[in-house]
Amino acid sequence: MALRLNRSGRHCEHEDKFLKENRIYLTWGGLDRDLGKLKDRKDLMAVLAEVYPKFKHFHRVQNSGQIWAFIHRMSPGDWVCVPSKRKTIHVGEITGQYTFVANAKDPYYHYRTVKWLETDIPRTNFDQDILNSLGAFTTICQIKRNDAEARVRAMQTNGWKSVGIKAKPVAEDEGVTDEETGGEFDLEQIARDQIARLIISKFSNHGMEDLVEAILQAQGFTTYHSDKGPDGGKDILAAPDTLGFGRPRICVQVKSQATPLERPVLDQLVGTMQDVQADQGLLVCWGGFKPTIKREASRLFFKVRLWDQNDLIDQFLANYDKLDEDLRAELPLKRIWTVASAEEEEKE
C-alpha cells in the first residue's frame, strides 16, 4: 500500500467533480488516448511528443513519470490526498483500476474510483513535514518521506488529527520516486501553513475573536466586543467613524472550531443582524463551512460575508503592518523576497 498525492488541477478547478463522482482524474488536457495499452514509458513519451509537441524534453520526462504512476503504480487500497481550494485536505482510498473513457469530456478521459474517507481535514491537523510533501508542485506523486503513510493512516483513528508518531527516517534514495524528481515545493503554501499553526496556537477559542477585532480596527472600524460567554450570535459589532456611528454597521460571529460550520449558525447571525439593526454580517470560521452554508452565499451576497481560515490569513497579512504592536509581538512575521516559480508549461 502507498500514500499518494493527486491534485485536482493547478487551481483545484476539478475538485468538485472529484468529490461528487468519487473519482480521481488525470487532468492533462487533450490526452485522449488509452494509456493502459502502452507497453512502457518509452511508448508514453512518444504519445506525449505527439500530443504536446511544444513541451520541452525535460517536461515530457517529468509528466511521463506522473502519468505512468496514475496508470500503473496506483493500486486499490492505496490512500490518496487531494488538496482543496478551501485550504483543507481530502483523504480517500483508491478502489478501482485505471479506466479510460474515449468519449468523455476533455480532460476527464482517465480516472480511478475512490472512497472518500474524510473531506476538508484542516491542514493544521497534519504534521508540518507531511504538509511540506503535499506542497510539491507536481500533480501526482507518492508521499514516502518520514513514514508518511503510516502516520496519515493513524490519523483516521484519532479524529483525523496527528497522533505524534515519531517519523521513521528513510534512506535518501528511497525518499523520492521518479514521478517526484524535479518537483519544486510551494514555498508560499508552506509559509501559510506555518502562519496558520502560529495563529491557532496563540488565538484559539475566544482568542480568535480578538484577532478578528484587531483586523477590523486596522481597516478603520470602531468595534464593540461582547463579553465572553453567551452572546446571542454577536461576538463583535463594527462600524466606521471615530465613534462607530458610520455605515455599514457590521455584526460579526467568530468560530475557532477546526470543523466546518453548520447552517444554524448562519441563520442565527442573520436574525441577530436584524435585532441590532446591522447592515451586513461577517461569519468567521477557522474550519470552513458546510455546503448548506455555501449554498446560501449567493443569496446573501449583499448581506453576509464568509471568512474561512484562508480568508482570515489573507486579511491578517494584508493588514499586518497596521495591527497593534502587542498583537504583532504575539504573531511575529518577517517579509522576505523569493523568485516566483514559473508557470508549468504542461496543460492540466
Of 210, 180, 215, 178, nearest to 318 by C-alpha is 215
Q: What is the pLDDT of residue 337?
A: 82
Pairing between strand 304-307 and 250-255?
A: unpaired
Residue 338: partners with Cβ closer than 8 Å, 6 or more residues away: 187
Whether 80 has a pLDDT exceeding 70, the answer reads yes
Mean pLDDT of all residues in 7-33: 96
Mean pLDDT of all residues in 277-288: 95
Q: What is the pLDDT of residue 174?
A: 43
Name the 3-class secondary structure at 195.
helix
Whether 118 has a pLDDT exceeding 90, the answer reads yes
**What residues pair up with 121 in beta bridges, in sequence order?**
89
Domains and CATH numbers, the chain: 3-185 (3.10.590), 199-330 (3.40.1350.10)
Measured distance CA(139)–CA(67) in Å, rounded:
9
Q: Grid coordinates 517579509 are at which residue?
A: 335
- 9 phi-psi bin (left φ>0, alpha ψ -120 to 50, beta other): left
Q: What is the pLDDT of residue 345?
A: 43
Mean pLDDT of all residues in 71-95: 96
- Which of residues 183 and 90 earns the better pLDDT score? 90
Measured distance CA(229)–CA(235) in Å, rounded:
9
Measured distance CA(165)–CA(43) in Å, rounded:
42
Mean pLDDT of all residues in 30-46: 96
- Diameter of the chain measured on Cα atoms: 74
Burial tier of 121 (Cβ tally within 10 Å: 0-12, 13-18, 19+):
buried
Q: What is the pLDDT of residue 277?
A: 96
Give the pLDDT band (50/70/90) at residue 342.
low
- With both helix axes pointing from N to C terminus, report the angle between 309-318 and 187-202 in degrees, rounded to the nearest 10: 90
The CA-based angle 322-326-331, given to 5 degrees, is: 80
Q: What is the pLDDT of residues 206-247, one digit of tens each?
A: 899 999 999 999 999 999 998 876 655 679 999 999 899 999
Whether 175 has a pLDDT exceeding 90, the answer reads no
Mean per-residue pLDDT of the chain? 90
- pLDDT > 70 fraction of the chain, expressed in percent and rounded: 91
How many Cα atoms within 13 Å fall on the side-chain side of residue 120?
Answer: 17
Whether 341 has a pLDDT exceeding 70, the answer reads no
Q: What is the pLDDT of residue 204?
A: 87
Task: Tell me, rounded to whole angstroms, the distance of Cα 114 from its chain centroid.
Answer: 19
Q: What is the pLDDT of residue 324?
A: 93
Q: What is the pLDDT of residue 178?
A: 42
**What residues pair up with 253 in beta bridges, in sequence order?**
283
